[in-house]
């Protein structure tokens, strides 16, 4: 059974609206699904959580319920039984496996976990008693994952002595300032903010949202205008946080990063306040023509309460998703982002096991000469037979692996399986055509890339001309000179080189003339606009010129994503004969590809 400790949570005094749980409700929760009862409204404003199964003290049967904040006139509370729950701390854990949904089974499971699990023992200030608290069980967002809340009680209050306004009550005020104040702005630092997240009730905070933000291109201000101007920008941000009436407390975390606990309110209102806040800080006093932009991650109240002391990680993750230039971005941390984080952390830890169990498999999609109808090549596409059962498409794992060097392991697996298939086909006397495999951006910056690829290909005795390395244009490349040097090395070694998704990324025409390419793959977004009713003349002009440009540069042109006869005919008419798309075939397993095309 896979167990993941989440964190310590605090729930303020609140009201639980509930009704007796049906067997269907319990079965759905046990299967990792949300119950479809009339109370399934945990995502609405004012709710602390989604609908779950609760085991209450003094109540024999389990109930289906939703926790709401108390006495808020903006909330339409359900018309059902309810009870007030006092403020309490909880352990929150996630499990992926079989467990009986009953008070006794969960109490036993959690108590045993508390004794044996090192992660849970880190919460030394909490002790769990079988008699204390309530148990809540909630369906997770992926597969059979369940989340369990179990109430504990506080034995050691290590935060109470930190949340105070009177610094003179400490004997060593200088030490206090060094520990909890920022030396540049004189404002609070992150150490000051932590206990507010852990024990908000000591400042009368019942509900809060969390925001983490930074200043875009702050280095430019530092280097162009100087440190004094840059520091004055930081101080103006601090002043604005201190004066804002919707901010409980705030901190300068490090460099140009700040964090705020803000009053909860409907999301649209919260976004409007934050936008106005950043707009008021968008001008540089020393040069009013210079615009300052911000990047902010916002964690709404409900998710903040669920994340507890991990809320900062969520805010930073959402903040990092702001990548646009020349504008302020506020990214809201959603359930989908949360699930992506949980899933990403898990599969990155599991990937080596998946490789050892040979769970990754290769599918091939043919490339067809539309005039002759003959096979001229294929593209290798990875699939993951997750735990030997569910077949995951690349979108469920490649984007997460691209954030670190894990994607290189996946690319190597594809290359090895392609070379293995080519060696087998050669042995059987089948006709051989080039197979394209992906070359990730991170691999390009590996100093031994060419040697590593040659070692893999040569170990199978594969003719280099049968391997076509594809680069994705939309990824972008920081060091064009290095990229061109690597591509030249690959071509000199006898490999073919293609650019995938042409027209969607950042390549300039001048760069295209320098890149040593054999094939230019026109992105599906262009193909989708032709061979249909209402076809636009401008789309045809752009596509025709891409094809003409490729030919005049001596580069083979291939269109991907064709799904109809009309699109194929239009592409041939425009001068592009090599087609890849569902019209001819979806990506299929290697064995099926052999039977159909070789």
Q: Shortest CA distance to 296 belongs to which of 325, 322, 314, 265?
A: 322
pLDDT at 199: 79
Q: What are the φ and ψ backbone dihedral angles of 250, each rounded to 5 degrees?
A: -155, 175
Q: Shortest CA distance to 65 belongs to which of 106, 8, 25, 24?
A: 25
CB 267 within 8 A of CB 304: no
CB 12 within 8 A of CB 102: no
CA neighbours closer than 13 Å in the CB half-sphere of residue 559: 31
Q: CA 274 to CA 266: how far, in whole Å?
A: 13
Q: Which residues pair with 366 in a beta bridge?
A: 378
pLDDT at 213: 97
Q: CA 258 to CA 181: how far, in whole Å?
A: 13
CB 150 within 8 A of CB 122: no
Domains along the sequence of the chain with CATH = 2-154 (3.20.80), 173-333 (3.30.70.270), 351-597 (3.20.20.450)
pLDDT at 586: 96
CB 382 within 8 A of CB 413: yes
3-state secondary structure 464-489: HHHEEEEEEHHHCCCCHHHHHHHHHH
In sequence order, what E strands does 88-165 have? 88-96, 126-127, 135-139, 145-154
User: What residues are labeled active site?
Assistant: 560
Q: In degrees to the nearest 10, what's the CA dihedral of 577, 583, 586, 588?
A: -70
pLDDT at 37: 56
pLDDT at 153: 57
pLDDT at 510: 61
Q: Which residues of the chain have pLDDT under 50?
A: 38, 40, 42, 116-130, 155-158, 474-476, 506-507
Give me the residue label for tokens 């295209």: 512
Question: Could you give the 3-state DSSP secondary structure of residue 341?
Answer: helix
Q: Which residues contact 101 (CB under 8 A, 6 or more apart)?
A: 26, 29, 30, 53, 62, 137
Task: Write the DSSP symbol of residue 222.
Answer: I
Q: Which residues contact 281 (CB under 8 A, 6 or more apart)?
A: 236, 237, 240, 292, 294
CB 393 within 8 A of CB 335: no
Alpha helix ranges (H) inside 461-589: 480-492, 509-514, 524-527, 537-552, 565-574
CB 320 within 8 A of CB 297: yes
């Amino acid at each position: 059974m896979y167990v993941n400790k989440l964190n310590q949570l605090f729930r303020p005094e609140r009201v639980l609206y509930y009704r007796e749980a049906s067997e269907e409700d319990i079965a759905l929760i046990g299967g990792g699904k949300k119950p479809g009862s009339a109370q399934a409204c945990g995502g609405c404003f004012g709710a602390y959580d989604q609908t779950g199964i609760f085991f209450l003290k003094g109540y024999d049967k389990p109930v289906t319920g939703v926790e709401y904040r108390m006495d808020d006139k903006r909330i339409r509370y359900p018309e059902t039984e309810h009870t007030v729950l006092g403020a309490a701390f909880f352990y929150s854990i996630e499990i992926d496996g079989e467990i009986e949904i009953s008070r006794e089974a969960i109490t036993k499971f959690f108590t045993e976990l508390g004794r044996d699990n090192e992660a849970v023992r880190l919460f030394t200030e909490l002790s769990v008693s079988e008699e204390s608290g309530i148990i809540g069980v909630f369906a997770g967002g992926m597969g059979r994952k369940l989340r369990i809340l179990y109430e504990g009680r506080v034995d050691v209050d290590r935060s109470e002595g930190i949340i105070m306004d009177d610094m003179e009550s400490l004997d060593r005020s200088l030490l206090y300032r060094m520990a909890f104040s920022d030396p540049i702005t004189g404002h609070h630092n992150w150490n000051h903010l932590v206990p507010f997240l852990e024990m908000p009730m000591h400042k009368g905070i019942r509900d809060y949202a969390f925001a983490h933000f930074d200043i875009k291109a702050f280095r430019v201000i530092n280097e162009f205008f100087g440190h004094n101007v840059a520091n004055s920008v930081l101080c103006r941000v601090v002043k604005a946080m201190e004066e804002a009436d919707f901010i409980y407390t705030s901190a300068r975390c490090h460099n140009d990063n700040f964090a705020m606990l803000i009053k909860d309110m409907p999301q649209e209102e919260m976004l409007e306040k934050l936008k106005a806040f950043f707009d008021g800080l968008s001008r540089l006093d020393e040069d009013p023509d210079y615009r300052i932009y911000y990047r902010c991650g916002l964690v709404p109240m409900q998710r903040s309460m669920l994340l507890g002391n991990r809320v900062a990680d969520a805010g930073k993750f959402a903040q990092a998703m702001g990548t646009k230039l020349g504008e302020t971005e506020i990214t809201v941390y959603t359930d989908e982002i949360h699930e992506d984080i949980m899933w990403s952390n898990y599969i990155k830890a599991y990937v080596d096991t998946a490789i050892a169990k040979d769970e990754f498999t290769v599918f091939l999609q043919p490339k067809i000469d539309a005039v002759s109808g003959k096979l001229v090549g294929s593209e290798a596409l990875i699939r993951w037979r997750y735990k030997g059962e569910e077949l995951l498409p690349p979108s469920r794992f490649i984007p997460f692996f691209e954030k670190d060097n894990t994607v290189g392991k996946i690319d190597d697996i594809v290359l090895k399986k392609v070379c293995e298939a080519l060696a087998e086909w050669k042995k059987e006397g089948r006709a051989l055509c080039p197979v394209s495999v992906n070359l990730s951006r991170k691999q390009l910056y590996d100093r031994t890339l060419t040697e590593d690829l040659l070692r893999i290909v040569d170990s199978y005795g594969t003719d280099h001309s049968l391997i076509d390395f594809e680069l994705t244009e939309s990824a972008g490349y920081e060091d064009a000179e290095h990229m061109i040097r690597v591509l030249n090395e690959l071509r000199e070694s006898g490999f073919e080189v293609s650019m995938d998704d042409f027209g969607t990324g950042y390549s300039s025409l001048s760069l295209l003339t320098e890149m040593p390419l054999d094939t230019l793959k026109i992105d599906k977004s262009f193909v989708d606009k032709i061979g249909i009713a209402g076809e636009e003349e401008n789309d045809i002009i752009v596509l025709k010129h891409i094809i003409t440009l490729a030919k005049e540069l001596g580069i083979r042109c291939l269109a991907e994503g064709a799904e109809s006869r009309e699109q194929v005919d239009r592409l041939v008419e425009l001068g592009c004969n090599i087609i890849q798309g569902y019209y001819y075939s979806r990506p299929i397993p290697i064995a099926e590809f052999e039977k159909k095309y070789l």
